Amino acid sequence: MKKALVLMLLASISFVFAAPLKLAKIQDYTIVIPRKATMQEKYAANILAVYLEKLCKVPATIKFDKGNIKGNYISVGETRFAAENKFTDKLAPQSYSFKVKDNNVFIRGGFPGPLNGVITFLQEDLDVRYYAEPYTNIKKHKEPGLTVVPNLKGKELTVTPRDYTPPFQIRECMYMYGNKADRNSVLWLRHAPISWHEDMPENSGACLNSNLFIHTYARLVSPKKYYKDHPEYFALQNGKRVKQHAEYGAVCYTNPDVPKIMLEGIKEQMRINPDACYFSVSVNDGSATQCECENCAPVLKKYGSYDVQLMLANKVAELLVKENPEALITTLVYGSKLDNSKIPAHPNVAIFLAPIGDRYNAIKMLLPLGEIANINKTVKNLRDGGKKIIFWDYLERNEMPYPNFDQMRDSLKYLVSQGVMGYFADCSTGGASLTPLKKWVYAQLMWNPNADMEALIAEFINAYYGKAAPEIAEYVALTRKAWQRFKAAYDKQPEGTMLSYTVEERAKMQQLFESALKKAEGDETLKGRIAREYAVYLKMELNGNAQVYGIDKYKANLEKLKAMLEYVPENASIKKEKFVQRCEGKINFANRERHASEYSKNSVTIWRPLVVNGLSAYLDDAKAVKGKSSRHIGKKPWGIQWNYARFIDYLVPGKTYVVRLRVRPEVKKVEPGKKMFAFCAFHHGGGFKGQPIFHGKFTEEDKKGEYRWINLGKVKFVQPASTGMYWMDSTVGKDEAVWYERMELIPIDEFKEDMSTVPNQTMKL
């Protein structure tokens, strides 16, 4: 196994290596560290000592580099012996160097030290594997994780002298259950985290990330601390200085005190974590990011918000690097249509590029990044503008087996070719498909994008799934075959193309899982590993319409899912979102007692849309049937959203529905024929282009100020896997509003009114 992985990982052109050298017996080596060793040199040496003892079954010794060392040694860090042998060249950040002289081994590393070298030495030269972390938050069944340590007692040490610099200085991929990754897995996967979701082990000296990750304006310039005495530090919006918070508002970009205050906030984080060197100076989440003061307004007009935010980050960096030259300021940019801008970035500022609009959807997450035109153009523009780039990727969908292996491999190679300095993947924190496999394989690819992914997948499956490896390998191959089919279809016709599995493929998947479970009888650990992936498959099966699926079959698979969930951590998304209760609701839907005001038994009613803070609110309303309704302020698009996930399960594929809303206006003057609102479709992945926009218009009836139904048009239900929403744009005045009590979708064959009352427009869903 060791030789195969070494050859695999040596495939990168970033390596400088020689032929393998066979040295003395491993157990005879002493570990040497500098007399004034750094925290990371000490930690790396301790890790090495612990595993040498496990490998050779004899205690390992650590000594300082004073005097002579009897016998052979492994030098860790910048020891006197390394200097005497002229191993003193400056190494790049995150890199390592293995040198051999007189049967002695020298392991060194670039900023922040030799830890990557020691971990790589243990994995690639001594065959230690940390495949997966333990799961401790499962009520009935624990998952111990998997670490493999071979018996090398009496064996000779074989080392391949080499130097390597990974292409990404920042490496993070958030496949895990919960909000914090296991620290040991972060270490062994050679991640270099930037977020607060992952941390290197304490006392490792390698925790370069701070708590200032993203959306930091409100934390760095606290309204609680400054607003009362210094409202001028905050953005002027609609004639008032705004009390910003993490999801709203901004700072005054041109106030000269703001960068100094931000610097103090960063220094506070440095006191908490002296090793930290990544700090975000990033605008708050949400759309209210402008400042309309007399100084900011002309600058924003001239340069745009992206450049003005970059100017602020530059000012903070200028102050920070005077005392902390290794520090890096990041500034988060949502978007994928950026030019290289008029403002250059400070050398210690990196653009944290998050192309959410062109990546965060079920379709685009399956495409290699280099094939997404807007992303490709933006990355090249930023690169040509001389800017450092950290790429924020969106990677996973929780609803189904999601084979993103091939796109991940190609995307990482593309980012390396573009000189991107860091890669952060925003993916499932709640247990997506094949989480342990992806976490391990993708870590190897982030470390070396030229590694052999096929060999990595096979190695992990064989080690982790044991007796059931053949079934899981076939299942993974089946999902990747579906991806290849999707990709070929998408390349020919992007519109409407989605990843899907045939009836035969789905049946085969279930057969493979049942077979794997039989092999796991008596082995609760293996059964749990299979169960957690079987749950993902069953979630896909149960996501659709229970009546169309067949109630009896649906109930049977729901019972299987309940059994599998005993092996799933309590904070997994499938449990937190109460998926089982949702499935039971679908079973009950067929026999439900419909509300007296609903149109027909099979009409689907959404009583409460999503409201958006500052744009709309769900309020008491005596005029509404249930005493509650959603009030949408005028001139505020996207303030009301009818998420597909709320109702798509109850629709029947192939059917057409009449869509109507029960609304009442809150306006100063009713003008019959004038538009009241717009009803628009948004589909992730850009599917179903050219959709019509439905409009609600005032009539004489609205002068009563009461609720009434508006028939908007028709919806043809095409794709059960669609994700997205219907969103509202209120076209009434700024100081007016529209109340939406509910939306109803009525099967067209049950609609008894004159169809002339329904506008002849049809959306696809």
The predicted pLDDT at position 7 comes to 35
pLDDT digits (tens, 9 = 90+) for 69-108: 899 999 999 999 999 999 999 999 999 999 999 999 999 9
Are 561 and 621 in the same domain? no
By DSSP bridging, strand 30-33 and strand 73-76 are parallel
Are 95 and 185 in the same domain? no
Q: Which amino acid is at 736?
A: E
232 within a domain of the structure (yes/no): no
524 within a domain of the structure (yes/no): yes
Average pLDDT of the chain to the nearest whole number: 91
The predicted pLDDT at position 17 comes to 58
CA dist 418 → 136, 167, 348, 408, 450 (Å): 40, 11, 19, 15, 15
The predicted pLDDT at position 687 comes to 62
Res. 61: pLDDT tops 80? yes
425 CB-contact burial (10 Å; exposed 0-12 / middle 13-18 / buried 19+)? buried
Res. 614: pLDDT tops 70? yes
Check if the beta carbon of residue 587 is closer than 8 Å to that of residue 670: no
Number of domains in the chain: 4
Res. 26: pLDDT tops 70? yes
pTM for this predicted structure: 0.86
Contacts of 19 (CB under 8 A, 6+ apart): 160
The predicted pLDDT at position 2 comes to 44
Res. 405: pLDDT tops 90? yes
Check if the beta carbon of residue 704 is closer than 8 Å to that of residue 731: no
The predicted pLDDT at position 590 comes to 66
The predicted pLDDT at position 12 comes to 38
Q: How confident is the model at residue 189 (pLDDT cuts 50, 70, 90)?
A: very high
Residue at a domain's end among 589, 620, 648: 589
Residue at a domain's end among 127, 146, 164: 164
Are 427 and 372 in the same domain? yes
Check if the beta carbon of residue 532 is closer than 8 Å to that of residue 135: no
Q: How confident is the model at residue 686 (pLDDT cuts 50, 70, 90)?
A: low
User: What's 148's domain CATH number?
Assistant: 3.30.379.10
Q: Where are the beta strands (DSSP E) in 692-736?
A: 694-697, 708-716, 724-730
669 within a domain of the structure (yes/no): yes
297 within a domain of the structure (yes/no): no
Are 160 and 175 in the same domain? no
463 within a domain of the structure (yes/no): no
Contacts of 457 (CB under 8 A, 6+ apart): 405, 437, 441, 476
Q: In this predicted structure, which of 19-23, 151-155, 237-241 has the lowest mean pLDDT?
A: 19-23
460 within a domain of the structure (yes/no): no
User: What's 397's domain CATH number?
Assistant: 3.20.20
Are 147 and 183 in the same domain? no
Are 676 and 749 in the same domain? yes
Res. 359: pLDDT tops 60? yes
Check if the beta carbon of residue 190 is closer than 8 Å to that of residue 116: yes
User: What's 711's domain CATH number?
Assistant: 2.60.120.260
Which residues constitute the domain of residue 618?
604-764
The predicted pLDDT at position 595 comes to 74
Res. 8: pLDDT tops 60? no
The predicted pLDDT at position 232 comes to 97
**Mean pLDDT highest for which of 397-406, 512-521, 733-742?**
512-521
Are 626 and 715 in the same domain? yes
Check if the beta carbon of residue 454 is closer than 8 Å to that of residue 5: no
Strand-pair partners of 135: 143
Are 565 and 623 in the same domain? no
Are 551 and 617 in the same domain? no
Q: In this predicted structure, which of 179-188, 337-346, 491-500, 704-713 has the lowest mean pLDDT?
A: 337-346
Check if the beta carbon of residue 205 is closer than 8 Å to that of residue 192: no
The predicted pLDDT at position 462 comes to 98
Residue at a domain's end among 589, 615, 631: 589
Instruction: Give the pLDDT mean for 491-506.
Output: 88
Are 11 and 148 in the same domain? yes
pLDDT digits (tens, 9 = 90+) for 703-737: 999 999 999 999 998 877 777 889 999 899 988 99
Q: How confident is the model at residue 308 (pLDDT cuts 50, 70, 90)?
A: very high
Are 9 and 123 in the same domain? yes
Res. 9: pLDDT tops 90? no
554 within a domain of the structure (yes/no): yes
Instruction: Give the pLDDT mean for 246-259.
Output: 94
Q: In this predicted structure, which of 298-302, 400-404, 458-462, 645-649 has the lowest mean pLDDT?
A: 645-649
DSSP secondary structure letter of residue 739:
E
Res. 4: pLDDT tops 50? no
| 259 preceded by a cis bond (ω within 30 of 0) | no
224 within a domain of the structure (yes/no): no
The predicted pLDDT at position 3 comes to 40
Q: In this predicted structure, which of 154-163, 212-221, 435-444, 579-588 has the lowest mean pLDDT?
A: 579-588
Are 276 and 372 in the same domain? yes
Check if the beta carbon of residue 513 is closer than 8 Å to that of residue 471: yes
Q: What percent of the chain has pLDDT over 70?
A: 96
> What angle (nearest 5°) sits at the alpha carbon of residue 373, between those of residues 370 and 379?
65
Res. 527: pLDDT tops 60? yes
Query: Could you identify the residue written with the tokens 């066979």?
Result: 22
